[in-house]
Amino acid sequence: MALRLPSNPLEPTGVLKYEKASPAHDNRFLHKEIPTHDEWRALTGVRPGFGVAPLTDLEERIRDAITHFDEVGVADQFAYFDSLRRLYDLVDQWLTAPRQREVIRPHVQKLFEAVVYRLCEFFSVSVNALPHKLQQAHKHMEYNHHGEHYIEAEKLEKHRLIIAGGQVTQWSDAHKWDAPVSTASPLLRSEGGDDIPQACWCDAGFVMSVWDQFYMAKHDPQANRFHSQYMRGGRVLCAGEMTIANGVVQKVSNASGHYRPRARQLLPVLWKLMMGGVNLNNVRACVRENDDFFVCRASDFLGRMAVCLSTANPRPPEIIARFHFDGHGWAPT
């Protein structure tokens, strides 16, 4: 659905003059907060002299979505995003549908602005970049399998990677602060498998969430811990592996047997690393596309992806090594 841009979503200059509306409700919208179930009912249900107006099916769904959002909270970021996205879709549908109750339109419009503001805040993007971000986050790259171990939502934050000044840090239980990451540590390191060429092995698995954050924890097949453990099998932008030594990224790949990301899905990973100050000239990218793996500098893949993926010239100068799976194993090409 098309995104209707609020007039001034990030710096509101005031609120609409709601007839008979409580200043407390206006204040919630001024600060771009999503109203509670009771507040929304007071704004859209009661009409002076007319009693309670019956809700349409779409309005009931909006009310239920507000109730769900109020219950979710921000601790589970995946559920928080899904509840915001559902509100966004429903309110967008109401605003574009014909013959809606005009008397509540100002309230619905202000709710839409509040939802857009929260989504921009969640993704750290401008309102103009939000439609593309929502489309990107909505793409399905999911994996679900019963019996796998999932990290509890409230414990996920400790596994988040912080990338700043070219250094990668993560919360350390031993030190009680964010410490430089070394994936050779037994707390993170996982052994490579036969499904990846040995030259492309990295130390530890990671995912990039739909809200552009990296998460890394130990992968252990014996304990059913895989790439699916972070988002409970839900959507991610990319999944793969990294080698990091004392906070310095050395190697990154899109190798994930669960999510199986395409080569282009490694691009936001490299962009995020670069924005965090990582020198991609010193990072090797191990990229899988179907039955092929190739190794190149991360900066070359970010800037020349089409050349690296081209089949017209299978060994351009950007490619350091290339491997093909022939049904039995990985052979250099």
pLDDT in tens, 211-228: 888 998 888 777 777 777
* Burial of residue 38 (number of CB atoms within 10 Å: 0-12, 13-18, 19+): exposed
pLDDT tops 60 at residue 243: yes
**286-323 tens-digit pLDDT:** 999 888 888 999 999 998 888 888 766 767 888 888 88
pLDDT exceeding 70 applies to what percent of the chain? 80
Q: How far is CA 25 from CA 18, 29, 43, 285, in A?
A: 10, 7, 8, 51
Q: Give the model confidence (pLDDT) of 46-79 as tens digits.
A: 554 445 557 788 888 998 999 888 888 766 777 8
pLDDT, averaged across the chain: 78
- What tens digit of pLDDT does each residue of 251-277 get? 999 988 778 889 999 999 999 999 999
329 close to 194: Cβ distance less than 8 angstroms = yes
Report the run of H or E that residue 284 belongs to, with start and end.
Answer: strand 284-289
Q: What is the predicted pLDDT for the residue at 27?
A: 42
Region 113-134: mean pLDDT is 81
Helix (H) or strand (E) holding 27: helix 23-30
Higher pLDDT, 97 or 135: 97
Nearest one of 220, 275, 273 to 244, comparing CA atoms: 273
Confidence category of residue 21, pLDDT binned at 50, 70, 90: very low
Are 180 and 246 within 8 A, CB to CB?
yes
Alpha helices in 156-215 (DSSP H): none
pLDDT at 60: 87
Distance, in Å, from the CA atom of 255 to the CA atom of 261, rounded to the nearest integer, reads 8
